Structure 1
Amino acid sequence: MAEGAAEAPAESGGGGDSGASAPERGVAPIKPQYLTTKEQFHEFLEARGQEKPSQETEAGDPGGNDLVEPEAKRIRLEDGQTGEAAEPGEQPQVQKRARGQNKGRPHMKPTHYDNNRLCPSLVQESAAKCLFGDRCRFLHDVGRYLETKPSDLGPRCVLFETFGRCPYGVTCRFAGAHLGPDGQNLVREEWVQAPPVRNGLDKALQQLLRKRKVRFERAEQALRQLSRDRVPGPSPAAAVPKVTGAESAPGQDSGDTQQALPGPDAGALPSGSVWTRGPLTDEDVVRLRPCEKRKLDIHGKLYLAPLTTCGNLPFRRICKRFGADVTCGEMAVCTNLLQGQTSEWALLRRHQCEDVFGVQLEGAFPDTMAKCAELLNRTIEVDFVDINVGCPIDLVYKKGGGCALMNRAAKFQQIVRGMNQVLDVPLTVKIRTGVQERVNLAHRLLPELRDWGAALVTLHGRSREQRYTKLADWQYIEQCVTAASPMPLFGNGDILSYEDANRAMQTGVAGIMIARGALLKPWLFTEIKEQRHWDISSSERLAILQDFTRYGLEHWGSDTQGVEKTRRFLLEWLSFLCRYVPVGLLERLPQRINERPPYYLGRNYLETLMASQKAADWIRISEMLLGPVPPNFVFLPKHKANAYK
């Protein structure tokens, strides 16, 4: 897609006459000729946006009407966080920086934008009738569905062009590309390819998990051994691994009695599985013995962190294209995986381009963690399994998972040792410096993790309490390299340029994990490998977003639900991408991760639009790629500091 507008004159930034202030501490140093004020910034975008109604609307609404700010956002702004002047006689309000998550944000699922949905039996062109008959809540009249279906978003369907067949048929938002004259779904037989994504959830296995009819012989053996070998500790509660109410599935008993009889024969399930109907035979026991554990050699590699919200498969494909060597799926909750939840299993999917791929698990109890590890070891293709002991969010921490395990050494040990015994692939662990800001625990835990069997540890140079309020402590990471030796230690925190990466490698770490830096600029991997600053153009950045939307439609689907799900994740990513400052505009290189961008006018309209931290402008960008948003569409980013009204 074109840049969007002609070059904006450099002097239009306003310089000293614009009212822009001198560079402040914590603000990216931008050349004076590009600086501007908040008012001039938005006046420029609104004026240029009105000149180009064919590409995008004035705001997110298809009719060109400005959207009403969500109530949760408006309340926050009216509580004194806008920095507006106080009334005469009142104390001026101090501008506060919004932190944390928008837990009360309005969130509409993609299904809410598609009220009249066609029955899946018709979409999939099944020969069998709908199983629900008159009780089916979906439409069975294709003509009636087409009357209310939104118009197509474009003449080309990504799925049809890639695989030769679109499984969404008439419901596809690009259906004109593959519907015949009589409305039939066309198929190019010579083009039909197998999807390049592995690690899907087998339906038969899902049914067994939901009925709790899967046996975990290897995990049970490991847990019994750990219980016998356990050294009595200060906490009796950490003694015997047992499912508790917090981790149990509804209606599930605790202890060994929870295991029901196994399900169908192994032939109906993924190869390598052990599912039997009666007591294990000698042959089954032989198959349960651990194979020789595979090696994980990623020394010096660039590791893309398993990011929450944005670290999905389409985003990982983008980062792989720019040079990420190692990728890992988003954090998956063990309890949900053991219950066969489709949404949780989707986090384990692996694209064929991911040559070194792992999955990250979260849990607080040795039995669920060990059983989940055995389940994944049998059913999916991974190169390593990672335990998330760095998650700081309350939802996980208060249940004893994430960072809480750093203070629960007995439980932590049982989890690591138990999972290590049932896995044929290496087990890795991600931790923080500690829980409290001034109480470092990592240097004491690393030797123990090495002895427990961890193949590699990644250390994020911050504590749970600290979050992102200060820079990562790379001096402490350097000290921990010695404590972990000979176990490899990866470092993580505040890497946004190749210079940051070089300084990190000088600490002696085996490699670096990149998280927020990849969200701000996924081409960071290329910069590190080529040792340069890339002054990437706005058209190149838009092309990256186009690729993301194409990958998203492949991953989530090309019907209304898939389009809106792709849009939602694109908007979440745009809430980070807007923090990037183009190299050509900086007075000093490189941009640092703790420096927020001031208001500036870019070298063209599109570059300026991409710098906006206003959610309505992100919606405008999404409409350039995915068409108009549905009526009543609202978006509020996950993190409070990522947008304003």
Structure 2
Amino acid sequence: MADSAVNETPSEGGTTEECETTGNIEANTDKTSEKESSIKEGSTETEGCETTSNIQANTEKTIAEKASSETSLVPESMIESSKVERKGEAKIKSQYLLVDYKPKIVSDYVPQETKDAMKRMITENGDDQPVSKKLRLKGRNKKRPFEKNPDASKKLCASISQEQECTFGDKCIFLHDINTFLASKPKDIGPKCYLFDKYGKCPYSFSCRFAQHHLTVEQTNLVNEELYEKQKDALSKRWLNNLDKDIQRLLWKRKYDFRKAEKFLKDMKDGKQTANNNGVSSIIEADSSDKTTDLARETNPESKMSDAVSKSTPQTLGCVTDEGLIALRPAEKKKIDFSNKLYLAPLTTVGNLPYRRICKSLGADITCSEMAMATSLLQGKTEWALLKRHPSEDLFGIQVCGSHYEPMTRCAQLIQDTCKVDFIDINCGCPIELVFQKGEGCALMGRSGRLEQIVRGMKSVLEIPLTLKMRTGIYGSKSIAHTLIPRLKLWGIDLVTIHGRSREQRYTKLADWDYIKQCSIAGKTIPIFGNGDVYSFEDANAFQSQSGVSGLMVARGALIKPWIFTEIKEQRHWDISSSERMDILRQFVHNGFEHWGSDQQGVETTRRFLLEWLSFLHRYIPVGILERVPQKINERPPYYFARDDLETLMASSNCGDWIKISEMLLGPVPDQFVFLPKHKANAYK
């Protein structure tokens, strides 16, 4: 069948059209399972799995059958015309092409205003002309609806699941009657509980959507004592960086001890007063009144900062302690060798812990949390869920975003005090309008005085490396990253990552690796990582050798094909089969059960994040189908059918087909299920 990638960007949706997937999904799944039997178990946990000779033989047979059966769809004259080069289109072997396919709009996956427009067109023009010819879906769906958490009165109390006494007693808002809960509980998804098989005990007990595996007739939760004793610690430490309840209460009451941060903040304030008394405009005062993005107006901010802090150093009287006096020297602080490592970019929404585990198993060296807002972390909000780390993430950072040095300095201390983390990253690259208008993300690139305050403040309380990710600049016509890099080193930054696009470009056009080379030259004394359009080992080799960067960060390339890390390390194009790709999705679901839970809410949370990921995964074109290898990240495919039905289903850009894949792994969607894709074009079928 067919597919067309969502333009070239995750945020700038182009008009994407999609064909129907063929065959009965259940029948196709049976066929695929025969091929899966020849693949080694746990292929997602190894690097560079190879398809077996049986799979190759079956694949060739499938190709031949499809080629013969679809001859009428692709006449020779059309095949010849399809060989004409089209700009921005990937070259696919002619036997897989669908020529002159006419997509249709599926109204289930469009926003209400689009549905209303479709009804008006039908009313005005009748059914003579298809709506898809007159209505062209383009751009992003805004105000996307999400599933609400189930009513607390219908959820089983966690204390009942854990066979403990509820500490809230009659005041508890959750359900305590097991029989009532089981009567209203949806049917189990399958006969095997992944958590029970792995740990010997399922922590979700009666609430588990696979409960029949570990519930007795007497409604008690089974425990495999021998396995549970071995895995008890692993079960309790499925992730790190949980926010302690006592610390959360201190944050709510604003009573957390920020002594380290307060020392720097006091020095800053005293430095401002001292500078003003001498008739010199301090860096803080200058920044508070300066709203321009013209870096040329700033006058030697680093000397002002050092003078302000040095003049305000307090005299020590009385009992002498080592606090503040025997601080770690720069040489004694933790160092990380970042050179020649593959860095999985911090990715909003899709860069969750279960996804990072997949990338880690496929060869990623460095992982980083999703972007967290400093102010939300200081308030003890649910933003802390973004900071969780899996034990397999051996080199892990936390990315924070903010616009003022006070919350950013306090946040740096809080993270170092409470989290197991190897480095902290400052977000100077987020192009989102809401973030930019608050002076955060990319906006900091145009306010280097304020950026200096943030970097120096965070560095003063940290004993781990501090890194920074930014773009080429705010405007496409004015690249400024190379002017900031020497100063970032002076202020204390340990690694800079450059995304080769400006804020104005967002994710459109190609990344400017020539400019990244210029930045690499400007930062000879500091590690520079390059980011943008890395989609194959050939891209990785060319970009790194041409730019001279210390390492590569991979973002969209890892979303579309997470095995890119294996390809780069093994220097090959991996013609991954549909069954191997299905194994990766199955492993993601298992990771989701561990992270979000195997109860109804955990299953639906896993489904939502799986669907978000599938909105990128479908853009991958199998190597065996390509006429010209490798595919470039900005190349969209023409309409095509794949080598087997499952691969064809995975190539679909229609949201309805993604839901079918989720149902193969997570069972039927619940009643009133709603999922609106990120891009309007994903409503085409």
CA offsets 1:191-228 (integer angstroms, 9 cap, x no match): 23222421111111111111111021111112233445
Deviation at 1:554, TM superposition (A): 0.5
Do residues 312 (structure 1) and 352 (structure 2) align? yes
Do residues 285 (structure 1) and 323 (structure 2) align? yes
The code of the aligned residue for 2:66 comes to: P
CA distance in structure 1 between the partners assigned to 2:91 and 2:282 by the alignment: 54
Match of 1:147 among 183, 191, 205: 183
Aligned partner of 1:270 in structure 2 is: none
The code of the aligned residue for 1:621 comes to: I
SS at match of 1:15: coil
Deviation at 1:140, TM superposition (A): 2.2
CA distance in structure 1 between the partners assigned to 2:100 and 2:32 by the alignment: 21
Do residues 197 (structure 1) and 197 (structure 2) align? no
Contact 1:227 1:239 in 2 (8 A): no
Aligned partner of 1:181 in structure 2 is: 217
SS at match of 2:323: helix
- The 3 A distance-change label for structure 1 pair 234 and 201 is closer
Aligned partner of 2:88 in structure 1 is: 26
Percent pairwise identity? 53
Aligned partner of 1:238 in structure 2 is: 287
Do residues 122 (structure 1) and 121 (structure 2) align? no
Aligned partner of 1:162 in structure 2 is: 198
CA offsets 1:358-385 (integer angstroms, 9 cap, x no match): 1100111101000000001111111110
Deviation at 1:238, TM superposition (A): 2.7
CA distance in structure 2 between the partners assigned to 1:613 and 1:38 by the alignment: 17
SS at match of 1:496: coil
SS at match of 2:226: helix
Match of 1:370 among 388, 404, 409: 409
Contact 1:290 1:421 in 2 (8 A): no
Aligned partner of 1:401 in structure 2 is: 440
Deviation at 1:295, TM superposition (A): 0.4
CA distance in structure 2 between the partners assigned to 1:439 and 1:79 by the alignment: 46
Aligned partner of 1:467 in structure 2 is: 506
- The 3 A distance-change label for structure 1 pair 398 and 177 is same
* Count of aligned pairs between the two proteins: 575
CA distance in structure 2 between the partners assigned to 1:457 and 1:3 by the alignment: 48
Higher fraction of helix: 2
Match of 1:388 among 417, 427, 431: 427
- The 3 A distance-change label for structure 1 pair 418 and 530 is same
- The 3 A distance-change label for structure 1 pair 77 and 627 is farther
The code of the aligned residue for 2:372 comes to: A
- The 3 A distance-change label for structure 1 pair 11 and 367 is farther
TM-score (norm 1): 0.83
Alignment of 1:506-521 (within 5 A): 506=545, 507-521=547-561
CA offsets 1:315-360 (integer angstroms, 9 cap, x no match): 111111110011001111111111111x311111111111111110
Structure 1 alignment gaps of length 5 or more = 44-65, 241-279
Which stretch shifts more, 195-204 or 283-292?
A: 283-292
CA distance in structure 1 between the partners assigned to 2:282 and 2:621 by the alignment: 52
Do residues 574 (structure 1) and 622 (structure 2) align? no
The code of the aligned residue for 2:422 comes to: D
RCO higher in structure (CA 8 A, sep ≥6): 2
- The 3 A distance-change label for structure 1 pair 305 and 352 is same
Contact 2:466 2:493 in 1 (8 A): yes
Contact 1:429 1:457 in 2 (8 A): yes
Match of 1:478 among 517, 525, 532: 517
CA offsets 1:385-413 (integer angstroms, 9 cap, x no match): 00010001112111110000011111111
- The 3 A distance-change label for structure 1 pair 549 and 387 is same
Structure 2 alignment gaps of length 5 or more = 1-28, 34-57, 273-279, 290-317
Aligned partner of 1:272 in structure 2 is: none
Contact 1:86 1:93 in 2 (8 A): no
CA distance in structure 2 between the partners assigned to 1:283 and 1:389 by the alignment: 37
Do residues 424 (structure 1) and 458 (structure 2) align? no
Contact 1:304 1:518 in 2 (8 A): yes
SS at match of 1:197: coil
Contact 1:105 1:636 in 2 (8 A): yes
Alignment of 1:65-144 (within 5 A): 68-72=108-112, 74-75=114-115, 78=118, 98-99=138-139, 101-111=140-150, 116-128=154-166, 130-131=168-169, 133=170, 135-144=171-180
- The 3 A distance-change label for structure 1 pair 187 and 30 is same
CA distance in structure 1 between the partners assigned to 2:144 and 2:348 by the alignment: 17
Do residues 221 (structure 1) and 263 (structure 2) align? yes
CA distance in structure 1 between the partners assigned to 2:515 and 2:553 by the alignment: 16
Structure number with larger C-alpha Rg: 2
Do residues 15 (structure 1) and 74 (structure 2) align? yes
CA distance in structure 2 between the partners assigned to 1:477 and 1:378 by the alignment: 35
